[in-house]
Amino acid sequence: MTSLKNDTFLRALLRQPVDYTPVWMMRQAGRYLPEYRETRARAGSFMQLCMNPELACEVTLQPLRRFPLDAAILFSDILTIPDAMGLGLSFAEGEGPRFERPLRDERSILKLAAPDPTDKLRYVLDAVSTIRRALDGTVPLIGFSGSPFTLACYMVEGRGSDDFRHLKAMLYSEPALLHRILEVNATAVTAYLNAQIEAGAQAVQIFDTWGGALTAAAFREFSLAYTERIIAGLKREHEGRRVPCIVFTKGGGQWLDAIAACGADAVGLDWTTELGAARRRIGDRVALQGNLDPNVLFGSPAAIRSEVARVLADFGPGDGHVFNLGHGISQHVDPDHAAILVDAVHSLSRRSA
Ligand code: CP3
């Protein structure tokens, strides 16, 4: 095992002192990079790209060749779990994900079972170990999963949605069925993240993209309770180091106290939450990750620098901040603008000796 040359990201997640604020970008490997589009075309489709460990490794490394990012994130998708459960995932060109067999009736929900990650999701674990080898200790590798609730949104709707009406009908009229899906998902995610850690992931992030669509009470009961269960079951140390866990709930800004108590080392914030206010509320308990509005990257270089400065100033002096976007980078962003962001974070945050 090679030791890490740059552990700034892992140290910041544990609120340890760092020389500058580390940065990575959600969706840093993706369609805004021409070399990504070229590799995806070579793979044939997005899912074939995810299922080919060599090509998944190649696209993971692409943003790191362009920008001095402080972490790599496994190239995969949150929907690999429901696919491995037999729901039949496809991504049509130019459209979002689709499931052939969404979960709408009791019979299919009672049949649902957590997949063995070392079998059906072997391709993800192979990608993790391939990427770790290729990174050769330059920066840490982040593994990830969707939250049980966010996965359930896609599993019940069968696709993305703006109102989640099938899911909400189930939540309000047949909550026991939704709880059953969430229980299976929590078991599946725990095993999946632990397998990624065993394969070499040095930190993990749980994406709760749709938790913010719930009421406060429903968020605690149907989302946070299952995230807590996962974290309680995670392997927290590997290769002699703590494996930090980040929870990102889009739209979760009103529930920060509850989220900060879920057992995670760090909480990811979207751009609607004030970082300084969040730090005063929960920053003595967890590290914070975020939270530049991803659309700032459509602004001028000068605007990007000043918005980066604003986020850094909002957090203020001291440790425990990982710079990120408040959500994934858009496919329409100019890669040169991402370069300006990364450079601005590093230069503006460097601690004077
Ligand atoms: O961050 C990274 O660079 C790692 C890779 C990654 C992808 N998806 C690759 C991807 C990660 C961490 C994800 C997470 C993911 N996937 C989430 C949670 C984070 C978020 O954005 O809220 C969700 C909800 C999904 C489900 C998903 N996958 C959707 C809705 C879509 C289609 C719409 C879209 O935004 O592209 C995908 C496809 C997908 N996943 C792409 C990539 C690069 C684009 C597919 C393509 O190349 O055509």
Query: How many angstroms separate the alpha carbon of residue 19 from the centre of ligand 1?
Result: 31
Instruction: Give the DSSP H or E segment for 322.
Output: strand 321-325
What CA–CA distance (Å, rounded) separates 84 from 77? 12
* Average pLDDT value for the chain: 97
The predicted model gives 252-278 an average pLDDT of 98
Is 98's C-beta closer than 6 angstroms to any atom of ligand 1?
Answer: no
Query: How many angstroms separate the alpha carbon of residue 175 from the centre of ligand 1?
Result: 28
Q: What confidence tens digit (pLDDT) does each residue in 102-135 have?
A: 999 999 999 999 999 999 999 999 999 999 999 9
What percent of the chain clears pLDDT 70, i.e. is strictly above it?
Answer: 99
Q: Is the pLDDT of residue 1 over 60?
A: no
Specify the pLDDT at position 68.
Answer: 98
Is 61's C-beta closer than 6 angstroms to any atom of ligand 1?
Answer: no
Q: Is the pLDDT of residue 90 over 70?
A: yes
Q: Which atom of ligand 1 is nearest to the CA of 37?
A: 47
Q: In the structure encoding, which two tokens stand for residue 234, read together?
A: 């995670």
Specify the pLDDT at position 306.
Answer: 98
Is 323's C-beta closer than 6 angstroms to any atom of ligand 1?
Answer: no
Nearest CA to ligand 1 atom 23: 78
Is 209's C-beta closer than 6 angstroms to any atom of ligand 1?
Answer: yes
What CA–CA distance (Å, rounded) separates 136 from 188? 29
Long-range contacts of 167-175 (CB under 8 A, 24+ apart): 171/218, 171/222, 175/222
What percent of the chain clears pLDDT 90, i.e. is strictly above it?
Answer: 97
Is 23's C-beta closer than 6 angstroms to any atom of ligand 1?
Answer: no
Choice from 78, 131, 189 to test ligand 1 binding pocket (greatest atom count within 8 A of CB):
78
Q: Is the pLDDT of residue 230 over 90?
A: yes
Specify the pLDDT at position 277.
Answer: 97
Query: How many angstroms separate the alpha carbon of residue 77 from the centre of ligand 1?
Result: 6
Is 238's C-beta closer than 6 angstroms to any atom of ligand 1?
Answer: no
- Read off the amino acid at residue 143: G
Band of pLDDT at residue 2, cut at 50, 70 and 90: low
Is the distance from CB of 291 to CB of 273 less than 8 angstroms?
A: yes
* Residues that are catalytic: 27, 31, 40, 77, 154
Choice from 77, 95, 99, 164 to test ligand 1 binding pocket (greatest atom count within 8 A of CB):
77
Structural domains of the chain, ranges and CATH numbers in brackets:
8-349 (3.20.20.210)
Residue of 28, 12, 7, 13 whose CA lies nearest to 338: 28
- Helix ranges (DSSP H) in the chain: 8-13, 34-43, 46-51, 53-66, 80-84, 106-111, 122-135, 148-157, 165-173, 175-199, 216-218, 225-232, 256-260, 275-282, 301-315, 335-349
Q: Is the pLDDT of residue 302 over 60?
A: yes
Band of pLDDT at residue 200, cut at 50, 70 and 90: very high
Q: Cα–Cα distances in Å, from 71 out to 67, 135, 204?
A: 11, 10, 11
Specify the pLDDT at position 100.
Answer: 97
**Beta strands at 203-208 and 245-249: parallel, antiparallel or unpaired:** parallel
Band of pLDDT at residue 92, cut at 50, 70 and 90: confident
Is 141's C-beta closer than 6 angstroms to any atom of ligand 1?
Answer: no
The predicted model gives 315-333 an average pLDDT of 98
Is 46's C-beta closer than 6 angstroms to any atom of ligand 1?
Answer: yes
Tell me phi and psi for residue 294, to 5 degrees: -60, -25
Q: What confidence tens digit (pLDDT) does each residue in 71-88 have?
A: 999 999 999 999 999 999
Q: What confidence tens digit (pLDDT) does each residue in 26-79 have?
A: 999 999 999 999 999 999 999 999 999 999 999 999 999 999 999 999 999 999
The predicted model gives 156-165 an average pLDDT of 96
Nearest CA to ligand 1 atom 1: 27
Q: What confidence tens digit (pLDDT) does each residue in 326-345 have?
A: 999 999 999 999 999 999 99
Specify the pLDDT at position 139.
Answer: 98
Query: How many angstroms separate the alpha carbon of residue 29 from the centre of ligand 1?
Result: 10
- Read off the amino acid at residue 303: A
Query: Within 13 Å of residue 72, how many CA atoms lie on the same side as its CB?
Result: 34
Specify the pLDDT at position 94.
Answer: 77
Spacing of C-alpha 246 from chain mean position: 8
Specify the pLDDT at position 353.
Answer: 62
